């Protein structure tokens, strides 16, 4: 996922709201996790997903984690050391209204704090990059939504895989009938 990692590194320099998009199984969550592990060494991070996000808004999340005060106070404290990050894996899969409320309240609070960056993953939608339940004003307050695309494995990534696992050479060869399927990491793991 070399290209996606480089694109995310570049985007994080100037963008405050980044969505890593791609088809199911291409490695969006890995790119997110890889970036989060790297920045966690020098900046505070919060990581949420569909299961780890309590429904009901900030008060329920704060209660679950034992955090006093408002979301703005908490996020401001995190960002005082030069910035902080909120990572949301599968933002488009959060279909519970209570969990959507929690995420929205965190995003709204983060949008008011300079130096706070939000990075999420989402599957590739039809014709639009919008997240239907997310208030457009939140995205606008964060400077708009910037997209980083994660696609099928590149030739360079295939070469690295083949070098590390020579048994994959035949399956990943462009002449193999399953070559297109095999360039999706999830499907490759199943093949």
Question: What would the pLDDT profile of 61-89 be if each residue is shown by its tens digit?
Answer: 999 889 999 999 999 998 887 789 999 99
pLDDT exceeds cutoff 50 at 127: no
Q: State the average pLDDT for the chain.
A: 86
CA end-to-end distance (rounded Å), the chain: 19
pLDDT recorded at residue 128: 56
Distance of CA 167 to the CA centre of its chain: 31
With pLDDT > 90 as the criterion, what percentage of the chain qualifies? 47
pLDDT recorded at residue 120: 94
Q: Can you read off the two tokens belonging to residue 151?
A: 């696609």
Mean pLDDT of 14-20: 94
* Long-range own/partner contacts, residues 7-13 (CB < 8 A, 24 or more apart): 7/148, 7/149, 8/35, 8/119, 8/148, 9/35, 11/146, 11/148, 12/117, 12/119
pLDDT exceeds cutoff 80 at 97: yes
pLDDT exceeds cutoff 50 at 46: yes
Say which residue the tokens 């997209």 belong to: 147
Selected residue with higher pLDDT from 5 and 155: 5
Selected residue with higher pLDDT from 112 and 191: 112
* pTM score, whole prediction: 0.82
């Amino acid at each position: 996922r070399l290209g996606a990692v480089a694109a995310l590194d570049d985007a994080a320099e100037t963008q405050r709201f980044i969505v890593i998009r791609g088809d199911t199984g291409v490695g969006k969550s890995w790119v997110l996790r890889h970036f989060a592990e790297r920045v966690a060494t020098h900046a505070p991070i919060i990581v949420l997903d569909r299961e780890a996000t309590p429904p009901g808004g900030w008060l329920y999340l704060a209660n679950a984690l034992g955090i006093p005060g408002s979301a703005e106070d908490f996020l401001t404290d995190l960002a005082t050391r030069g910035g902080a990050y909120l990572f949301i894996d599968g933002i488009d899969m959060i279909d519970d209204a209570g969990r959507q409320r929690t995420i929205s309240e965190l995003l709204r609070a983060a949008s008011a704090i300079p130096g706070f960056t939000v990075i999420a993953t989402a599957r590739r939608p039809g014709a639009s990059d919008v997240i239907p339940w997310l208030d457009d004003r939140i995205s606008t307050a964060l400077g708009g939504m910037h997209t980083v695309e994660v696609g099928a494995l590149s030739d360079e990534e295939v070469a690295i895989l083949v070098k590390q696992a020579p048994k994959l050479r035949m399956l990943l060869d462009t002449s193999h009938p399953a070559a297109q399927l095999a360039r999706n990491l999830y499907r490759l793991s199943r093949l």
